[in-house]
C-alpha cells in the first residue's frame, strides 16, 4: 500500500517537474553557482592561488552540463523529453520540406481513410453481431431448402404451429409476413393520404429478437387475436418524420386503411427491420400478424427461431430433418413437405456478401500497401538528400539507434496526421453510405466510424508507419559515415545501390497496382455483362405508382374500376401504354400452382410452383414484355368467360416439352385454364439468375395482391407524376400520395450491391494507378537530377536530345514492365480467387488483362516523359559547372 502511494507521489512529482522545467533549471543553476562559490572560498582559505582554487573547484564538481542532465533525468520524464525533442525536430524538418510533408500526409490520408471506411462497412455487415439480444442463437428457417421464390421458402400457419409444438431445439420460433405488399397501409387524416410500408409480425417476434420499445409497449396477446383491438407500433424514423417525434402519439388512434388503430408504442432507433430482413426497403409501421387471418393464405410466414442455449445449428438441422417428414406424414393434405434449411441469421443476412466484402477489404489493404511502398520511396529519396545531415549528427555523437528512432518518429508523426485526416475522410464516406437507402446491402444504414474502427485506425497507422520507415531506417543505419560525408550529392551515377532499392519498391508498387486494376477490370466487365442481361422487359421509359381502389372483393366491379382507371390514365398526353399488375418483377413475388392438365408427372418432373402475376390488358405492353405467341388479355376475359392464362417460355418448356402450349388446358391453382399466350422469360427475382416459371392471370379472373399502375412514356417520370396523380385523385379522392417509381430504379436496386462493389474497387484501382505513377515519376525524376552531370557530359560528347530522352523513357519502361510481369502472375492467381464473384466473365478475361497492361504502360510513359524532357533540356555547360 505504502509502495503504491510512494510510486504515485513520485510520478506526480516527476510530472510536475516535467512542466516546470524552466524554473527548476534556474533553481539548479543558482544552486550549482553557490556550490562553486563555496568551493572556491574554501580552496582560497586553504591557501591556493585564485586560479588554482577555481580550477580545482570545477574539477571536483565534474561536468556542469552532465550534472544538469542527470538532474533532469532524475526529476522528470526523460523518455518523454526525448520524444518531444524528436517531435520538435521532426516538425522543424517537415516544415522546411512542406511539399514532401503535404504529399506524404495526403497519400496517407487517402490510404488510411479508405481503409477505415471499408473496415466500418465490413465490421457492420460481417463482423459485428446483429443488433439483437444473443444474436448467435437466432437462426433463419427456409422451406424447400431455401431454393425458390418467397412462396417456396415460407410456411403455412398450420406448418408453423405444428413445428412450434413438436420441436425440442428451440426456445421459440417466431414469424413475420414477408409479403410486404399485402400489408401496405394507407395513412389518412394527417395531411395528404399517404402510403406507409408496414409489416405484420407475430406477437412474439419483437420479444424473441430482444427488441424493447423506446416508448409505450409491444403487442399484447389480445391484440394478436382475430377481432382484437387494432394496434400498431411505429418505427423510429417514421415516428420522427411523420409525427415530429411527438411522444404523446402513444395511446392515440391513427387512421390506417380508413379505420382507427391505436398507436401502442414506438420502436427504438437501433431497430431497423428493413436493413436486416429486406435490405434497401424501409419499414414504417408494425402490425400484429393475426394467425387466424393468415391461416387460409397458404405459405405466408417467414420463420425465425431462437435456439436453446448450447444447441448448435447442426443439431437443430438434424432435428428438423427428422421432424418435418413426421409432421408432413401426419398431414397428408399439405401441399409442401417443408424440407427446411437452417442457417444462422447472421449468415442469412450477410453470408452471400462475405466473399465480396473480403475482396473489398483485400483491395483496400492493397491500397495501404501501395501507400506504404510509395512513402518508403519518398522517404528513401529524402534520406539520400539528408545523408549529410545524418552523417553530421552521427559525427556529433548520435547513435545509429538514435537516428533510426528519429526516422521512426518522423514516420509516426506523418502517419498520425495522415490518420487524422483519413478519419475525416472515413467519416464523410460512412455518412454518405449510411444515407444511400437505395443500395440493397443489409445494415448499411447503420454504418459509422465506431470504437472498433478507431482501434483499427490506430493499428493500421502504426503498422503503416513502421512499414514505410523500415527501408529508410535500414538504409541510414547501415550507411557508412565517411561515404555519406564524401558523397556530396550531385556527382556521377553515385549511389546505384541505393537506387536499386528504390527501383525494387517501384516495381512492387506497379505489381500491386496491376493486381488491383485486373481485379477492378474483371468486376467491371462482369457488371457491364449484368447490365446487358435481357431482362425480358424494357425498364427505360416506364414508371410505376401504387394505386388504391375499393372493389369490395367483387371481380366484376374490379374489372370496371381497373378499366376506367386505365382509360383515364391512357388519355393523359404523352402516355403510350398503361397497365396494372399486382407485383413488379425484381420487386416482390409470390407463386401459385401450375400444371399441364392431363399430364402424369413422374417423380422429379414436376417443377413445382410458378411465379404468379395478376395483370390487366396492356400491362405486358407497358412493361415492354414480348408476346411470343398468342394474345394479350382483353376486357372480354371476364369472370364469366373461360379462365385464361399467359405463361413464359420457361413454363411452356417445362410443362409442355416439345409441344405448342397455345390453346391447351392448364391447371392453375387447381382450376382448368386455357393458355392464350406465351411471353419471353422475365427476370423476376434476380438479374443474375435465370428466370423461373411464370404465369400471368387477368385481374378479372384472379385476385391481385395490391396494385401497381405501370405507364410507358417518353416523358420523364417527374413530368408525368402530377398529371397521373391528379387523374387518379379525380377518380378516387382517397388515392394516397405514393411515389412514382421509374422501373429502371427497381433494376438499379437489384444490381446495387454489384454496382457498389464495382465502384469501390474501381476507385481503389484508380488510386493505386495514381500512386504507382507517382512512384515511377519520383524515382525517374530523382535519378535524372542525380545524373545531371553525367547527362551533361554525354551531351557535350555529342549525344542527341532524342537519345537522352529515349534513354530515360527506356529506363522507365524497364521498371514498369518488370512490375507488370510480377503483377500479371499475381493477378492470375488473385483472379481465380474472385472467380465466384464474376458474371459471364472468365478470370483470365483477355480484355481486362490487356487493358491493365496498356493502361499501366501508358501511365508509365507519361510518368517517365516529364523527367525525360527535363533531362533533354539539361544545358551541358551549366551541368558541368555545377557543384
* Residues within the interface to other proteins (CB under 8 A): 6, 9-10, 13-14, 17, 27-28, 30-32, 34-35, 37-39, 41-42, 60-64, 66-67, 70-71, 73-75
How many other C-beta atoms are found inside a 10 Å radius of the C-beta of residue 793? 15
> Could you tell me which of 390, 476, 411 has the C-alpha nearest to residue 100?
411
5 vs 714, beta carbon nearer other proteins: 5
76 vs 762, beta carbon nearer other proteins: 76
Q: Provide the minimum distance between the beta carbon of 399 and other proteins in the complex, in angstroms, as a whole number.
A: 23
Q: Provide the minimum distance between the beta carbon of 55 and other proteins in the complex, in angstroms, as a whole number.
A: 14
Would you mind telling me the total number of residues written for the chain in this entry? Answer: 883
Q: Provide the minimum distance between the beta carbon of 82 and other proteins in the complex, in angstroms, as a whole number.
A: 17
Q: Provide the minimum distance between the beta carbon of 270 and other proteins in the complex, in angstroms, as a whole number.
A: 51
CA distance 188 to 191: 7
Q: Provide the minimum distance between the beta carbon of 12 and other proteins in the complex, in angstroms, as a whole number.
A: 9
40 vs 261, beta carbon nearer other proteins: 40
DSSP 123: I
Using alpha carbons only, give the angle 309, 311, 315 rounded to the nearest 5 degrees: 170
Q: Provide the minimum distance between the beta carbon of 76 and other proteins in the complex, in angstroms, as a whole number.
A: 9
Q: Are 286 and 273 in contact (CB under 8 A)?
A: yes
Sign for the CA dihedral angle at 535, 538, 540, 543 comes to negative
Q: Provide the minimum distance between the beta carbon of 27 and other proteins in the complex, in angstroms, as a whole number.
A: 8
CA distance 158 to 333: 11
Q: Provide the minimum distance between the beta carbon of 31 and other proteins in the complex, in angstroms, as a whole number.
A: 5
Using alpha carbons only, give the angle 217, 222, 226 rounded to the nearest 5 degrees: 125
CA distance 411 to 704: 66
Q: Provide the minimum distance between the beta carbon of 9 and other proteins in the complex, in angstroms, as a whole number.
A: 7
Q: Are 390 and 479 in contact (CB under 8 A)?
A: yes
798 exposure class (CB count in 10 Å sphere: 0-12, 13-18, 19+): exposed
- All three cell numbers of 34, joined, read 553557490
- All three cell numbers of 472, joined, read 529508410
Q: Which residue has the cell 393458355?
A: 675
714 exposure class (CB count in 10 Å sphere: 0-12, 13-18, 19+): exposed
Residue 741 has phi, psi (to 5 degrees) of -100, 120
Contacts of 337 (CB under 8 A, 6+ apart): 324, 325, 328
The packing angle between helices 496-532 and 354-385, to 10°, is 150
CA distance 479 to 471: 12
17 vs 448, beta carbon nearer other proteins: 17
Q: Provide the minimum distance between the beta carbon of 10 and other proteins in the complex, in angstroms, as a whole number.
A: 6
32 vs 454, beta carbon nearer other proteins: 32
> Could you tell me which of 392, 369, 479, 500 has the C-alpha nearest to residue 764?
369
64 vs 560, beta carbon nearer other proteins: 64
Q: Are 542 and 743 in contact (CB under 8 A)?
A: yes
Q: Provide the minimum distance between the beta carbon of 117 and other proteins in the complex, in angstroms, as a whole number.
A: 48
Q: Provide the minimum distance between the beta carbon of 50 and other proteins in the complex, in angstroms, as a whole number.
A: 17
25 vs 556, beta carbon nearer other proteins: 25
By DSSP bridging, strand 253-256 and strand 694-698 are: unpaired
> Could you tell me which of 303, 349, 369, 628 has the C-alpha nearest to residue 510?
369
- Partnered with residue 665 across adjacent β-strands are 674
Q: Provide the minimum distance between the beta carbon of 38 and other proteins in the complex, in angstroms, as a whole number.
A: 4
CA distance 332 to 325: 11
CA distance 692 to 682: 8
Q: Are 676 and 664 in contact (CB under 8 A)?
A: no
Contacts of 719 (CB under 8 A, 6+ apart): 574
Q: Provide the minimum distance between the beta carbon of 62 and other proteins in the complex, in angstroms, as a whole number.
A: 3
Amino acid at each position: 500500500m505504502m509502495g503504491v502511494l510512494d510510486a504515485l507521489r513520485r510520478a506526480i512529482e516527476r510530472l510536475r517537474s516535467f512542466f516546470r522545467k524552466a524554473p527548476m533549471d534556474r533553481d539548479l543553476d543558482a544552486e550549482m553557482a553557490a556550490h562553486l562559490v563555496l568551493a572556491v572560498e574554501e580552496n582560497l582559505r586553504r591557501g591556493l592561488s585564485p586560479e588554482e582554487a577555481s580550477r580545482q573547484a570545477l574539477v571536483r564538481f565534474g561536468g556542469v552540463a552532465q550534472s544538469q542532465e542527470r538532474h533532469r533525468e532524475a526529476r522528470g520524464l526523460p523518455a518523454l523529453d526525448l520524444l518531444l525533442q524528436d517531435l520538435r525536430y521532426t516538425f522543424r524538418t517537415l516544415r522546411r520540406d512542406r511539399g514532401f510533408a503535404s504529399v506524404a500526409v495526403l497519400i496517407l490520408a487517402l490510404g488510411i481513410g479508405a481503409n477505415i471506411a471499408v473496415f466500418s462497412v465490413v465490421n457492420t455487415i460481417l463482423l459485428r453481431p446483429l443488433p439483437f439480444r444473443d444474436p448467435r442463437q437466432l437462426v433463419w428457417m427456409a422451406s424447400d431448402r431455401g431454393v425458390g421464390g418467397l412462396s417456396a421458402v415460407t410456411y403455412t400457419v398450420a406448418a408453423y404451429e405444428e413445428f412450434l409444438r413438436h420441436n425440442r431445439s428451440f426456445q421459440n420460433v417466431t414469424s413475420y409476413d414477408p409479403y410486404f405488399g399485402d400489408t401496405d397501409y394507407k395513412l389518412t387524416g394527417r395531411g395528404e393520404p399517404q402510403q406507409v410500408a408496414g409489416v405484420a409480425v407475430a406477437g412474439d417476434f419483437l420479444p424473441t429478437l430482444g427488441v424493447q420499445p423506446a416508448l409505450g409497449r409491444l403487442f399484447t396477446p389480445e391484440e394478436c387475436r382475430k377481432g382484437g383491438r387494432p394496434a400498431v407500433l411505429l418505427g423510429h424514423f417514421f415516428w420522427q418524420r411523420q409525427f415530429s417525434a411527438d411522444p404523446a402519439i402513444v395511446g392515440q388512434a391513427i387512421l390506417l386503411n380508413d379505420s382507427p388503430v391505436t398507436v401502442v408504442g414506438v420502436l427504438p432507433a437501433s431497430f431497423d427491420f428493413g436493413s436486416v430482413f429486406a435490405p434497401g426497403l424501409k419499414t414504417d409501421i408494425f402490425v400484429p400478424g393475426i394467425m387466424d387471418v393468415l391461416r387460409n393464405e397458404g405459405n405466408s410466414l417467414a420463420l425465425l427461431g431462437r435456439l436453446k442455449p448450447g444447441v448448435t445449428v447442426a443439431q437443430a438441422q438434424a432435428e428438423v430433418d427428422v421432424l418435418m417428414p413426421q409432421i408432413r406424414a401426419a398431414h397428408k393434405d399439405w401441399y409442401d413437405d417443408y424440407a427446411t434449411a437452417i442457417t444462422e441469421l447472421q449468415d442469412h443476412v450477410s453470408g452471400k456478401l462475405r466473399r465480396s466484402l473480403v475482396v473489398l477489404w483485400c483491395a483496400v489493404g492493397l491500397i495501404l500497401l501501395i501507400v506504404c511502398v510509395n512513402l518508403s520511396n519518398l522517404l528513401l529519396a529524402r534520406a539520400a538528400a539528408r545523408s549529410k545531415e545524418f552523417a553530421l549528427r552521427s559525427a556529433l555523437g548520435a547513435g545509429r539507434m538514435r537516428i533510426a528512432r528519429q526516422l521512426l518518429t518522423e514516420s509516426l508523426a506523418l502517419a498520425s496526421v495522415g490518420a487524422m485526416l483519413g478519419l475525416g475522410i472515413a467519416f464523410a464516406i460512412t455518412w454518405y453510405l449510411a444515407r444511400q437507402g437505395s443500395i440493397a446491402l443489409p445494415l448499411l444504414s447503420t454504418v459509422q466510424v465506431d470504437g472498433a474502427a478507431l482501434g483499427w485506425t490506430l493499428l493500421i497507422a502504426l503498422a503503416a508507419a513502421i512499414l514505410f520507415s523500415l527501408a529508410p531506417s535500414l538504409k541510414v543505419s547501415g550507411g557508412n559515415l565517411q561515404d555519406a560525408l564524401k558523397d556530396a550529392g550531385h556527382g556521377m551515377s553515385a549511389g546505384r545501390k541505393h537506387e536499386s532499392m528504390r527501383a525494387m519498391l517501384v516495381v512492387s508498387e506497379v505489381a500491386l497496382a496491376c493486381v488491383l486494376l485486373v481485379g477492378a477490370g474483371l468486376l467491371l466487365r462482369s457488371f457491364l455483362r449484368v447490365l446487358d442481361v435481357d431482362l425480358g422487359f424494357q425498364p427505360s421509359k416506364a414508371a410505376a405508382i401504387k394505386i388504391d381502389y375499393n372493389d369490395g372483393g367483387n371481380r366484376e366491379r374490379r374489372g370496371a374500376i381497373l378499366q376506367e382507371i386505365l382509360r383515364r390514365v391512357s388519355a393523359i398526353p404523352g402516355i403510350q401504354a398503361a397497365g396494372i399488375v399486382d407485383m413488379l418483377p425484381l420487386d416482390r413475388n409470390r407463386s401459385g400452382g401450375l400444371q399441364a392438365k392431363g399430364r402424369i408427372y413422374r417423380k422429379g418432373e414436376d417443377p413445382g410452383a410458378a411465379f404468379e402475376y395478376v395483370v390487366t390488358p396492356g400491362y405486358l405492353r407497358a412493361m415492354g414484355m414480348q408476346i411470343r405467341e398468342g394474345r394479350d388479355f382483353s376486357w372480354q376475359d371476364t369472370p364469366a368467360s373461360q379462365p385464361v392464362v399467359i405463361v413464359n417460355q420457361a413454363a411452356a418448356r417445362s410443362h409442355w416439352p416439345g409441344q405448342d402450349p397455345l390453346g391447351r388446358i392448364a391447371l392453375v391453382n387447381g382450376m382448368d385454364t386455357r393458355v392464350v399466350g406465351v411471353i419471353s422469360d422475365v427476370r423476376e427475382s434476380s438479374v443474375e439468375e435465370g428466370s423461373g416459371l411464370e404465369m400471368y392471370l387477368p385481374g378479372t379472373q384472379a385476385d391481385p395482391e395490391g396494385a401497381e399502375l405501370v405507364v410507358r412514356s417518353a416523358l420523364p417520370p417527374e413530368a408525368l407524376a402530377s398529371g397521373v396523380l391528379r387523374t387518379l385523385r379525380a377518380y378516387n379522392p382517397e388515392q394516397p400520395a405514393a411515389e412514382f417509381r421509374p422501373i429502371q430504379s427497381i433494376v438499379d436496386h437489384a444490381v446495387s450491391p454489384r454496382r457498389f462493389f464495382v465502384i469501390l474497387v474501381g476507385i481503389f484501382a484508380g488510386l493505386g494507378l495514381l500512386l504507382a505513377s507517382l512512384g515511377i515519376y519520383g524515382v525517374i525524376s530523382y535519378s535524372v537530377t542525380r545524373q545531371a552531370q553525367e547527362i551533361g557530359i554525354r551531351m557535350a560528347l555529342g549525344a542527341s536530345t532524342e537519345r537522352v530522352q529515349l534513354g530515360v523513357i527506356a529506363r522507365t519502361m524497364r521498371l514498369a514492365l518488370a512490375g507488370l510481369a510480377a503483377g500479371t502472375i499475381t493477378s492470375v492467381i488473385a483472379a481465380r480467387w474472385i472467380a465466384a464473384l464474376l458474371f459471364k466473365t472468365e478470370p483470365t478475361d483477355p480484355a481486362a488483362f490487356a487493358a491493365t497492361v496498356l493502361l499501366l504502360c501508358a501511365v508509365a510513359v507519361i510518368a517517365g516523359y516529364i523527367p525525360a524532357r527535363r533531362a533533354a533540356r539539361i544545358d551541358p555547360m551549366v551541368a558541368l559547372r555545377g557543384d
